[in-house]
């Protein structure tokens, strides 16, 4: 599985567009709760991008690293990642 860069960039641009929309909402004095909901929507899109990137990473970089004998180092990277993600 190769990283689907086109899809990732499309999602990133969607998130970027949402953030521009939020700037406009703030400038227009929109209601805080509506702004907050849009912020969480943008965070959720970034979460989807992150899943996409890491899914590709696990099935491509990590699997090929195994053939090179550097799997242990990759596991350290994933551990560091889980450390940030797990609450």
Site residues, a second copy (CB under 8 A): 3, 5, 8-9, 12-13, 15-16, 19-20, 22-23, 26-27, 31-33, 35-36, 39-40, 42-44, 46-47, 49-51, 53-59, 61-63, 66, 71-72, 75, 77-79, 81-87
How far CA 48 is from CA of 17, 41, 53, in Å, comes to 16, 11, 9
CB of 11 closer than 8 Å to CB of 52: yes
User: Cβ of residue 38: shortest distance to a second copy, in angstroms?
Assistant: 10
- Return the C-alpha torsion angle 7, 10, 14, 16, nearest 10: 120
The Cα–Cα gap between 2 and 69 comes to: 20
Q: How far is the CB of 43 from a second copy (least distance, A)?
A: 5
Q: What's the min distance (Å) between Cβ of 69 and a second copy? A: 10
């Amino acid at each position: 599985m190769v990283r689907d860069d086109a899809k990732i960039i499309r999602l990133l641009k969607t998130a970027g567009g949402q953030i521009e929309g939020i700037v406009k909402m703030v400038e227009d004095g929109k209601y805080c709760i509506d702004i907050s909901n849009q912020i969480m929507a943008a965070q959720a899109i970034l979460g989807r991008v992150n899943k996409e990137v890491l899914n590709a990473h696990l099935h491509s970089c990590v699997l090929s690293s195994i053939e090179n004998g550097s799997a242990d180092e990759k596991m350290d990277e994933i551990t560091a990642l889980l450390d940030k993600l797990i609450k």
